[in-house]
Amino acid sequence: MRIGILTSGGDAPGMNAAVRAAVRRGWELGLEIVGIRRGYAGLIEGEAVPLTPRDVGGIIEYGGTFLHTARCPAFLTEEGRRKALDTIDREKFDALVVIGGEGSLQGARWLTEQGVNVVGIPASIDNDIEGTELAIGVDTAVNTVVWALNRIRDTAFAHERVFLVEVMGRESGYIALMGGLAGGAELVLVPEVEVSLEELAQQVSSIYRKGKHHSIIVVAEGVIARLGSTEVIANFLRERTGLEVRVTVLGHLQRGGSPTATDRILASRFGAQAVEDAKAGIFGHMVAWQKGKVVRVPLTVVRRKQMAIDLRLYELVHQLAI
């Protein structure tokens, strides 16, 4: 069997570990593994390169994806999709392994509907993919936020300041919530829970009335569209509370870095399972993590989670900020 493998959409730490596992387990099973560069864009352009176990040596510890990735609006067009199918025919792929987020897996579902044999692997630092409790890259991103909060708190404490820390998460507050909880944040703002600027100012004032002299507020980027920029929020807090407020935007720092052991192990299990399923002729699904096991979830049910956070944990963050 000839198997194509691609990484698509936003990069996530652990993608390389998944590719490595798929290539090495695939070779052990007698499969021919071909890497497709730049995701769906590379599939459209026919950027395919054979991969051997030696080609993926030494990549498990690196973030990003050595196959490269790209956002690909062209894959949403009729012409782009036709070219992608042409590449699959020309390269004589018996199956594809698609590693990516919810949008990339939607593309995998479309390929399945066209008769292409596909196995999906979830990779998204937002942990917003329906059907899996955990995706590749989540643990590393959360640990990066905690690493940053640990350092920011040193300055917040020394200068008795309020720090607004903006983290990724346009529609999902998972990184903000879990990073904030593990990093000891006093307040967390997530897209799933609506809070006004006035309510926020009251919460901050309440923290200081309890005797605290510094605080960290973690803000998911999806909140910004509703409340304004992080600097707008900071200015409002300065005016309402009279406190010294600073802003830190973590940005793409959260996407990079060496994957944690959890992400390397999860990605390795997903990659190996994907090619084992291909060898067995089992397609049309995403490998997923549920209740401590790798399972199969039909691509037909894979979509963005409507609620990616546990509201009980959201309440716990604020209960602990006394």
Q: What is the DSSP string of 182-218?
A: HTT-SEEE-TTS---HHHHHHHHHHHHHTT---EEEE
CA angle 153, 158, 164 (to 5 degrees): 40
Structure tokens given for 299 = 């691509």
Chain centre distance of CA 278 = 25
- In order of 75, 179, 303, 314, the CA distances from 190 in angstroms are 31, 12, 20, 9
The burial of 151, by beta-carbon neighbours within 10 Å (0-12 exposed, 13-18 middle, 19 or more buried), is given as exposed
Whether 126 sits among the annotated catalytic residues: the reply is: yes
> Strands 187-189, 215-220: parallel, antiparallel or unpaired by DSSP?
parallel
In whole angstroms, give the CA distance from residue 88 to residue 99.
Answer: 17
Catalytic: which of 126, 128, 263, 277? 126
In whole angstroms, give the CA distance from residue 318 to residue 202.
Answer: 13
Give catalytic residue positions. Answer: 126
